[in-house]
Chain A
Amino acid sequence: MKANLEKEGGLQAVIVADTFNRNFEPASSCCSLLPLVNVKLLDYTLEWLNMSGVDEVILFCSSHVNEIKLHLKDKVYLSIDVKVLVSENCYSLGDVMRSLDGYAVIRNTFILLSADVIGNVNFVPLVEKFKSIQSVDKEISMMVLFKEVGNQRPELHNDFIVAHNSKNRIIHYQVQKSKNIELPMEVLLEQEFVDIRNNLLNPGLAICSVAVPPLFSENFDFQTISDFIRGLLMNEEILKCTVYGEILKGNQYVARVRDWPMYQVISQDIIRRWLYPIVPDLLDKYSYKKNSTYVNNATFSKGFKLGVDVVVGAKTKLGKNVRIDRSVIGNNCTIGENVVVENSYIFDNVKIEENCAVRNSVISHTCVVKRNSIIDSCVIGPCITLNAESKVNKKSLVSKKLTHKENLAPFSDNCYVYANSDSEDEESSALVTDWAARTNFVYDDSTSDSDTETVSVDEALVEDDDVNIFYNEVEDSLSRGFSEKLQCENLVLEVNSSRYVYNVTVSEVNFNVIRAILNINLSDAGNAKQMWQHMESKLKYFLPIIRNYIKDSRAQRDCLAALEDVTASYGQLKMVLVKIINYMYDKDVLAEEAIVAWYNELSNEEIKTCLLSFIQWLNEAEEESDEESD
C-alpha cells in the first residue's frame, strides 16, 4: 500500500497557513502560530502529518512569512519534507489554489487542509480509498472528510446538510439556514439510498485529485471548499466532476480552530485526550495527573489547588494559595499569591500579581496584570500592562505598539480597546459575551435552557443574512434611481448583479424588489390622498421594473406577499392598498385569479376587510366578462 504511494513520488499535503480572517485578533494576528494548550497550531498540523503517512508538505503562506520560516527552523525531528511557498496576494483559499496551480508542484492526489485544522487521522487508508473510487469513477475530484459530532452541540457549528448516496457520493450540500430542511426532489428521486446528515462537523479537510487546482483556476468565484462543493454540484454536467464524503470513524479526530468558542472546545478535547496520540504529555514533557491535569516542571507553593482540565507550562511559578480550574497556563509565567484563574487561556511569559482574578479570558503573551485586578470575559492582546486594581469586563484590549489602526478608544496607558473594524465592533464584543455564555453552557446545566434560546436567536439572525443585505442593496439602488430618475433598464441590471452576488432565489428577488419599491419614502406621505399621489408616481416610474420581474403566476404571488408584508409592518398603507392592487390589475401586472387566490389565503383580517369590496367587484367583473363571452 505504502510502496504503491512511494512509486508515485510520495503523498503530498498542502497546508494553507492563513485563515483569511481576524478571528483571533488581538491575541494573535497569525493564526498558525496561535498557541493551543501551549503548542503552536501549526505544530499540531505538522506533527499530525508527520505521523500519518504524508511524505511532503507544501506550506502556503501569504503573510507572516518570516515568523513561520523562523518557527520551522528547529523542527528537525520531522521526517517529512516541508516546503514553504509564498504568495503575498492571496485573500482566500481559492486564491491559494489558483496560485498553487501556477506553481505546478502537485504531482498526484494530495491532501488539502488549513493550518487551523488539527487531527490524528491516518491518511494512508483514506488515500487508498480515494484511489479505489477513482478507478471506478474517473471524475472524482475531491473526498471531503467529516467528523460525526452529534447534533446537540451548537458550539461546533454543524450547520449544514449533506446528502450521500450509497457510494458516499455527495449529491446535495447546503448550509442550514433555518430549522427546516429544503431538499430538491431529484435528490430523493434519483437515488436508491440517501443519507442525510446534519450532525457532522466539516473541518475543511479534503483529499483532492490533481484536477482540483485547475478547477479553481477555471472558476474564479470559488473561494472556499464549500464554494467548490456547491459549485461542482450545481454544474455537475459541465464540469464533469464528482465529490465524495467520508465520515471518520472511531478514534479519528479532526476539528478546526475557527473562533474562540471552538478554541475552547478543542482545548478541552486535547486535554481530555481525544486527539491521542497528539496529547501534551507526548508532544512535550508534561506529566499527566488525575482530573486531566498536566504539569511540566512548574514550581508550586503551599496551598495551591488545581481543579480539573488544567495545564501548567514549563518553568511557571505559582504563588501561595493559587487556585486554577479549567485553564491553560503557558510557559515561564509567574502567578502571584491568592490568584484565581478559571476557564482562561494564558499564553507564555505572563505575569499575574497577587490577589487577581481571571475568568473566561484569554491573556496573550508577555502581559503583566498588576495586583488586585479582576478580568472577566476579555481577550487581552500581547505585551499589555494592566494597572493595579483595574477591572476589565467583556473587552478586547490591544497595545498601541502592535496595531496600525487609528481612533481606538484608550483604556489606560498604552492600552486600547480593540475593534476588529468599524462595523464589526458589536460582533467582537458579542463574541466575548458569547464566549462567556458558551462557558455556562458547557459547565452549568441550570443555564442551559436560556442558552439554547440565545443560540436560536443567533440562528434567526444568520438565517436571512444574505437576503437582508440583498434587500438593502436593492432598496438603495432603487431609491437612488427614483430620486435621480435613472433608466429603469439600468436599475434592473443593478438588481440582477446584486442577486448574483448574494445568490438569492428568484422568488426572493421578486418579493424584495416589490417590497423595496413600496418602502421607498413611504413615511414621508401624510393623508391618503398624498400617499396615493406619491405611490402612483412611484408605481408609474417603476412599472418597467415591476413588469420585468412579475411575469408569471408565481411571481404574482410573491408580489402580493410583498404587499401584504409591507402593509403588515406599515399600517397606513391599508388606505391605498386597494388602489395599488387595482393599478397593478389595470396594468396587467396582476391577474384576477392570483388576487383572488391570495385573498382567500389571507390570514390578516384587517387587510381582508380593506379588500372586501374590491374582491366583490372583481368577482362581479369576472361574471360579467363570462356572460359577455357567452
Chain B
Amino acid sequence: MVSEISESFSKTFKQLIRDIKMQKLDGSYNVAVAVVNLFRDLVLHEKWNTAKDLIFLMKTCGKLLAKELPLQTSAENMIRRMLKIVRDEYTTACNEQQEELDIQESLHKIVTSEEEIDDYSKTVAELKESILDHINEFHMELETSIENITKEAIKHIHTSEIILTIGKSAIVESFLKEAARYRKFDVIVCECSPLKYGQDMAISLSNSKISTTLIADSSMFGIMGRVNKVIIGTHTVMANGGLRAISGTHAVALAAKYYSVPVIVLAGLYKLSSQYLHSHEDNFNQFTSPESVLSYSEGVLTSSVHVYNPMFDYVPPELVTLFISNAGGHAPSYVYRLLSEMYHQDDNDL
C-alpha cells in the first residue's frame, strides 16, 4: 500500500519550506526544531499502518526538503535522525514480540527474523506511541543541547586566557557567558566583515561584563600569537569533520594553525551532516546581497562591477582540533563514527 500525503500537511510543509528559504525562520537550531515538530505531526496525523509506510512518507518529504533546501543541512539531518528513530523502534518492538512468542532462539530463526525486520512491513502494536515517545525524547535532547554544551565551558576556558572568536554564534555566546560566571578571561572578536556579525557579538559579550576587544579581520593574524584558544561556532559539520562556517573562519583557522593555537568548534549534534564537500559551486555556498561590500547608492558603479558576497567558508578537518557537542568532545577523525551511530546507512540517500 502506498500512502499519500494529505493536502493540509503538504500545505504546512510547503509553507515551512518557503519560510526557511526566505529566512522568515532563521538559525539552524530553529530550523531543526521546526522540522522535528513537523515530522511529529506527520507521525501523529497522517495515515500509515506499518513502519514501511511511515518510512516511505518521511522519505518522500525528506527528498523534497533536501532538494528545496540544499543549504539547510540541519533540516536534512533531522529527517535522517527521525528515520533512524522509526527504524530503531520497529526493530526493538519486533524483537520484543519475538521474545514473547518464542524465547528460545535458534540460528535459523535469527536469520529469518532479520530478513523480516529489514522489510519493516510487519504490523506492530503500539508502534506509533513508542515512536512518538522517542521523538519527544529526541526533542528534549535538542532543547537541552545548548545547555549541555555550555556545561563543558569551565573545562576548556581557564582564568586569564585570551579567547578568539569570529562572527556571532548563539552557542559560542552562551558558552563564553557560562565560563565568565566562574572565571575571568579576555575575548577578542573578529568583526567578520562584510556581514559584521562580530559587532553584535562584541556588544552582547561586553554587556555581560566580559572584557571584549573587537578587531578588524585583517589584524587577526597579528593578534593570533597572543591567543590561547580559538572557539568558534559553525553552520554545518561535514561528514569528514570539515566545517561550513561563516566566511572568515578559514582565515582564522589557518592563522591558528600557524601559531599552533587549538581551534575548538562548538556544534550541537543536529549540525552533523552526512554530506561531503564535492564542489564549491553547487549548493555549498550562499551568496547574499552585495550591499555591504558596495553600496547601491554608489550609483553607476554598481552596474559595471560584479560583486560576490559569499556567506560561508569551507574549513578542512585538519585545521580543527576539537568538536564539542552535546555528547561531549570529539576529534574530527571521530565524526564518521558519530555519523554511523546517529543515522541509518540506508538513509544516506534520501
| A residues with CB within 8 A of B | 47, 50-51, 76-79, 120, 147-153, 199, 250-251, 253, 265, 268, 272-279, 282, 285, 287-292, 308, 442-443, 445
Chain B residues whose CB sits within 8 angstroms of the CB of A277 once the complex forms: 21-23, 288
**CA–CA, A437 to B283, complex, Å?**
37
Query: 1/0 per residue B255-292: CB within 8 Å of A?
Result: 00000000000000000000000000111000111111
Q: Which of B282, B287, B300, B304 contacts A273 (CB 8 A)?
A: B287
Q: Is B14 an interface residue, CB under 8 A from the partner?
A: yes
Q: Is B18 an interface residue, CB under 8 A from the partner?
A: yes
Q: Nearest chain-A residue to B280 (Cβ)?
A: A290
Q: Nearest chain-B residue to A265 (Cβ)?
A: B303
Q: Is B24 an interface residue, CB under 8 A from the partner?
A: yes
- The answer to whether B15 and A151 have CB atoms under 8 Å apart is no
- The answer to whether A290 and B281 have CB atoms under 8 Å apart is yes
Chain B residues whose CB sits within 8 angstroms of the CB of A285 once the complex forms: 67-68
Listed A/B pairs (8) with beta-carbon separation below 8 Å: A79-B18, A153-B300, A153-B303, A273-B287, A273-B289, A273-B309, A287-B283, A442-B303
- The answer to whether A273 and B288 have CB atoms under 8 Å apart is yes
Q: Is B299 an interface residue, CB under 8 A from the partner?
A: yes
- The answer to whether A253 and B289 have CB atoms under 8 Å apart is yes
B273: min CB distance to chain A, Å: 19
Q: Which of A51, A78, A290 contacts B23 (CB 8 A)?
A: A51
Of A150, A278, A287, the most chain B CB neighbours within 10 A belong to: A150
- The answer to whether B18 and A78 have CB atoms under 8 Å apart is yes
- The answer to whether B15 and A47 have CB atoms under 8 Å apart is no
Additional A-B contact list (9), CB under 8 Å, known A77-B15, A150-B299, A282-B22: A51-B19, A51-B23, A150-B297, A152-B300, A251-B288, A251-B291, A253-B291, A274-B290, A276-B288
- The answer to whether A278 and B290 have CB atoms under 8 Å apart is no
Q: Which of B15, B67, B306 contacts A79 (CB 8 A)?
A: B15
Q: Nearest chain-B residue to A274 (Cβ)?
A: B289
Chain A residues whose CB sits within 8 angstroms of the CB of B288 once the complex forms: 251, 273, 276-277
**CA–CA, A109 to B309, complex, Å?**
36
Q: Nearest chain-B residue to A48 (Cβ)?
A: B22
Given contacts A275-B289, A288-B287, contact A76 B14 (CB under 8 A): yes
- The answer to whether B306 and A291 have CB atoms under 8 Å apart is yes
Q: Which of A150, A151, A308 contacts B296 (CB 8 A)?
A: A150
Q: Is B338 an interface residue, CB under 8 A from the partner?
A: no
Q: Is B298 an interface residue, CB under 8 A from the partner?
A: yes
Q: Nearest chain-B residue to A76 (Cβ)?
A: B11
B interface residue count range (under 10 / 10 to 19 / 20 to 34 / 35 or more): 20 to 34
B10: min CB distance to chain A, Å: 8
Q: Nearest chain-B residue to A309 (Cβ)?
A: B306
Chain B residues whose CB sits within 8 angstroms of the CB of A148 once the complex forms: 296-297
- The answer to whether A250 and B291 have CB atoms under 8 Å apart is yes
A342: min CB distance to chain B, Å: 16
**CA–CA, A151 to B94, complex, Å?**
73
Query: 1/0 per residue B237-254: CB within 8 Å of A?
Result: 000000000000000000
Q: Which of A77, A253, A274 contacts B18 (CB 8 A)?
A: A77
Given contacts A51-B24, A265-B303, contact A273 B290 (CB under 8 A): yes
Q: Which of A149, A282, A291 contacts B297 (CB 8 A)?
A: A149
Given contacts A79-B19, A275-B289, A277-B22, contact A152 B299 (CB under 8 A): yes
Q: Nearest chain-A residue to B70 (Cβ)?
A: A287
Q: Which of B281, B290, B297 contacts A272 (CB 8 A)?
A: B290
Q: Which of A120, A199, A272 contacts B307 (CB 8 A)?
A: A272
**CA–CA, A573 to B29, complex, Å?**
85
- The answer to whether A278 and B15 have CB atoms under 8 Å apart is no
Q: Is B192 an interface residue, CB under 8 A from the partner?
A: no
Query: 1/0 per residue B65-102: CB within 8 Å of A?
Result: 00110000000000000000000000000000000000
- The answer to whether A278 and B282 have CB atoms under 8 Å apart is no
Chain A residues whose CB sits within 8 angstroms of the CB of B298 once the complex forms: 150
**CA–CA, A79 to B289, complex, Å?**
25
Chain A residues whose CB sits within 8 angstroms of the CB of B153 once the complex forms: none
**CA–CA, A445 to B288, complex, Å?**
28
**CA–CA, A187 to B23, complex, Å?**
42
- The answer to whether A287 and B282 have CB atoms under 8 Å apart is yes
**CA–CA, A344 to B14, complex, Å?**
33
Given contacts A51-B22, A273-B288, contact A199 B14 (CB under 8 A): no
A17: min CB distance to chain B, Å: 21
Chain B residues whose CB sits within 8 angstroms of the CB of A274 once the complex forms: 289-291, 296, 302
Q: Nearest chain-A residue to B298 (Cβ)?
A: A150
Q: Is B231 an interface residue, CB under 8 A from the partner?
A: no
A524: min CB distance to chain B, Å: 52
Those 4 A-B pairs whose CB atoms lie nearest each other, nearest first = A150-B299, A77-B14, A51-B22, A276-B289
Which positions 281-334 of chain B face chain A at CB distance < 8 Å?
281-283, 287-292, 296-300, 302-304, 306-307, 309
Q: Nearest chain-B residue to A77 (Cβ)?
A: B14
Chain A residues whose CB sits within 8 angstroms of the CB of B10 once the complex forms: 76
- The answer to whether B296 and A149 have CB atoms under 8 Å apart is yes
- The answer to whether B299 and A153 have CB atoms under 8 Å apart is yes
Chain A residues whose CB sits within 8 angstroms of the CB of B307 once the complex forms: 272
- The answer to whether A292 and B306 have CB atoms under 8 Å apart is yes
Q: Is B54 an interface residue, CB under 8 A from the partner?
A: no
Q: Is B17 an interface residue, CB under 8 A from the partner?
A: yes
Of A76, A268, A285, A287, the most chain B CB neighbours within 10 A belong to: A76
Chain A residues whose CB sits within 8 angstroms of the CB of B18 once the complex forms: 50, 77-79
Chain B residues whose CB sits within 8 angstroms of the CB of A273 once the complex forms: 287-290, 309
Chain B residues whose CB sits within 8 angstroms of the CB of A265 once the complex forms: 303
Chain B residues whose CB sits within 8 angstroms of the CB of A149 once the complex forms: 296-297, 299
- The answer to whether A77 and B17 have CB atoms under 8 Å apart is yes
A323: min CB distance to chain B, Å: 19
A77: min CB distance to chain B, Å: 4
**CA–CA, A277 to B11, complex, Å?**
22
**CA–CA, A79 to B299, complex, Å?**
36
- The answer to whether B306 and A50 have CB atoms under 8 Å apart is no
A46: min CB distance to chain B, Å: 11
- The answer to whether B304 and A442 have CB atoms under 8 Å apart is yes
B302: min CB distance to chain A, Å: 8
**CA–CA, A145 to B24, complex, Å?**
22
**CA–CA, A250 to B295, complex, Å?**
8
**CA–CA, A204 to B84, complex, Å?**
52
Chain B residues whose CB sits within 8 angstroms of the CB of A291 once the complex forms: 306
Q: Nearest chain-B residue to A276 (Cβ)?
A: B289
Q: Nearest chain-A residue to B303 (Cβ)?
A: A442
- The answer to whether B289 and A251 have CB atoms under 8 Å apart is yes
**CA–CA, A272 to B10, complex, Å?**
32
- The answer to whether B21 and A282 have CB atoms under 8 Å apart is yes
B25: min CB distance to chain A, Å: 10
Chain A residues whose CB sits within 8 angstroms of the CB of B304 once the complex forms: 442-443, 445
- The answer to whether B21 and A308 have CB atoms under 8 Å apart is no
- The answer to whether B22 and A251 have CB atoms under 8 Å apart is no
Of A50, A149, A253, A273, the most chain B CB neighbours within 10 A belong to: A273
Q: Nearest chain-B residue to A288 (Cβ)?
A: B287
Q: Nearest chain-B residue to A279 (Cβ)?
A: B287
- The answer to whether A308 and B281 have CB atoms under 8 Å apart is no
**CA–CA, A148 to B295, complex, Å?**
9
**CA–CA, A409 to B296, complex, Å?**
43
**CA–CA, A452 to B156, complex, Å?**
64
B146: min CB distance to chain A, Å: 23
- The answer to whether B292 and A251 have CB atoms under 8 Å apart is yes
Chain A residues whose CB sits within 8 angstroms of the CB of B282 once the complex forms: 287
Q: Nearest chain-B residue to A158 (Cβ)?
A: B299
Chain B residues whose CB sits within 8 angstroms of the CB of A152 once the complex forms: 299-300
A238: min CB distance to chain B, Å: 37
A63: min CB distance to chain B, Å: 29
Chain A residues whose CB sits within 8 angstroms of the CB of B303 once the complex forms: 153, 265, 268, 442
Q: Nearest chain-B residue to A53 (Cβ)?
A: B24
**CA–CA, A50 to B18, complex, Å?**
9
Q: Nearest chain-A residue to B281 (Cβ)?
A: A289
**CA–CA, A253 to B302, complex, Å?**
13
**CA–CA, A147 to B299, complex, Å?**
12
B79: min CB distance to chain A, Å: 19
**CA–CA, A272 to B303, complex, Å?**
9
Chain B residues whose CB sits within 8 angstroms of the CB of A77 once the complex forms: 11, 14-15, 17-18
